[in-house]
């Protein structure tokens, strides 16, 4: 596999999403990227996929601070349901607060905490590690 099948990008910053979309295209990171402006939108799609037996994302990149449902709440929701599909979940934040980094590590299903901005180099390395099974 040279690409990740489906990626959820959950962030309320349109500029970040624009840049991330371009980087995803340049790196051929994923076959399909779906963008959500808050955790609630992402959760609704995720839950709908579970209940209708549609393909789940292979990767989720979620910000922490968003309106309606923040990243922590989204992680709690994802952790509250059963699904039979390996998902690599990454918290992507501009915060370098050690408490937030430590909190992300407490979620056993979170693969890593990545500090923004997402750069071309970071995305290339992330893709390589995912595809090589390092996460």
Q: Residue 81: name the closest of 110, 56, 50, 42 by CA.
A: 50
Q: 77-103, pLDDT tens digit by residue?
A: 999 999 999 999 999 999 999 999 999
8 A C-beta contact, residue 113 and residue 101: yes
Report residue 28: phi and psi, to 5°: 50, 45
Q: Residue 92: name the closest of 23, 5, 3 by CA.
A: 23
Q: 60-73, pLDDT tens digit by residue?
A: 999 999 999 999 99
Q: Does the 4-131 domain belong in CATH 3.40.50.2300?
A: yes
**Tokens read off for 61:** 């990149």
- Domain locations along the chain: 4-131
Q: pTM surpassing 0.75?
A: yes
In this structure, the number of other CB atoms found within 10 A of the CB of residue 68 comes to 12
């Amino acid at each position: 596999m040279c690409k990740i099948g489906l990626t959820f990008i959950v962030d309320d910053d349109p500029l970040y999403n624009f840049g991330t979309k371009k980087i995803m295209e340049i790196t051929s990171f994923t076959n399909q990227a779906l963008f959500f402006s808050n955790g609630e939108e992402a959760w609704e799609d995720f839950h709908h996929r579970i209940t209708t037996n549609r393909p789940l994302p292979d990767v989720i990149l979620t910000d922490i601070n968003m309106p309606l449902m923040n990243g922590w709440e989204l992680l709690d929701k994802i952790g509250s349901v059963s699904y039979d599909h390996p998902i690599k979940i990454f918290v992507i934040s501009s915060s370098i607060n050690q408490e937030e980094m430590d909190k992300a590590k407490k979620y056993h299903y979170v693969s890593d905490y990545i500090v923004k901005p997402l750069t071309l180099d970071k995305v290339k390395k992330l893709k390589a590690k995912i595809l090589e099974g390092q996460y």
